[in-house]
Amino acid sequence: MPYYCGIDWSERGHDFAVIDANGVLIAQGRITETPDGVKELQRILAGLSTSHRHSRRHVPIAIESSRLLLVPALLKAGQPVIVINPTVVANYRGIVSPAKRRKSDKGDALLLANIIRTDGHLHRPLPNPSEQARALVELSRAQRHAVREQQYYLRRLRSQLRVYYPVALQAWEDLPKKILRPEARALLRLAPTPAEAARLSRRQIADALVSAGRIRLVDDTAGRLFHLFRQRQLRQPPAVEEAMGVAMLSTLMFLDRADHLVHSLEAEATTAFMAHPQSKIYLSFPGVGSVMGTRLLAELGDDPARFSSSRGLKAYAGVAPLTWASGGSRSVSHRRVANRLLKSTCHHWAFSSLTRSPGCRALYDRRREAGDRWAGALRHVAARLLSSLHYCLAHDVLYQEEIAFPPTPPAGE
Q: Tell me if residue 83 falls in helix, strand or coil.
A: strand
3-state helix, strand, coil in the chain (%, to 5): 60, 10, 30
Beta partners for residue 19, in sequence order: 4, 25
pLDDT (0 to 100) of residue 31: 92
106-148 confidence digits (pLDDT tens)? 888 999 999 999 998 888 888 888 999 999 999 999 999 999 9
Nearest Cα to Cα of residue 352 among 281, 286, 266: 286
| Mean pLDDT, residues 406-412 | 66
Which pLDDT band, with edges at 50, 70 and 90, does 410 fall under? low
User: Are 287 and 352 within 8 A, CB to CB?
Assistant: yes
Asked if residue 328 has pLDDT above 90, the reply is no
User: Are 392 and 399 within 8 A, CB to CB?
Assistant: yes
Which pLDDT band, with edges at 50, 70 and 90, does 357 fall under? very high
- The residue type of 109 is A
167-183 confidence digits (pLDDT tens)? 999 999 988 999 999 99
Domain boundaries, the chain: 3-126, 135-272, 280-404
Q: Tell me if residue 312 falls in helix, strand or coil.
A: helix
Which pLDDT band, with edges at 50, 70 and 90, does 57 fall under? confident
User: Domain 3-126 is in which class?
Assistant: alpha beta
Asked if residue 77 has pLDDT above 60, the reply is yes
- The residue type of 19 is I
What does pTM read for this prediction? 0.86
Q: What is the mean pLDDT of the chain?
A: 90
DSSP output for 21-69: TT--EEEEEEE-SSHHHHHHHHHHHHTT---TT--GGGS-EEES-S-ST
Asked if residue 51 has pLDDT above 90, the reply is no
Asked if residue 225 has pLDDT above 70, the reply is yes
pLDDT-above-90 percentage for the chain? 69
Asked if residue 100 has pLDDT above 80, the reply is no
CA distance 138 to 145: 11
pLDDT (0 to 100) of residue 122: 87
CA distance 150 to 190: 21
Name the H helices within 275-339. 279-283, 290-300, 310-317
- 200 sits in which H/E element: none
Nearest Cα to Cα of residue 118 among 87, 92, 100: 92
| Mean pLDDT, residues 52-72 | 88
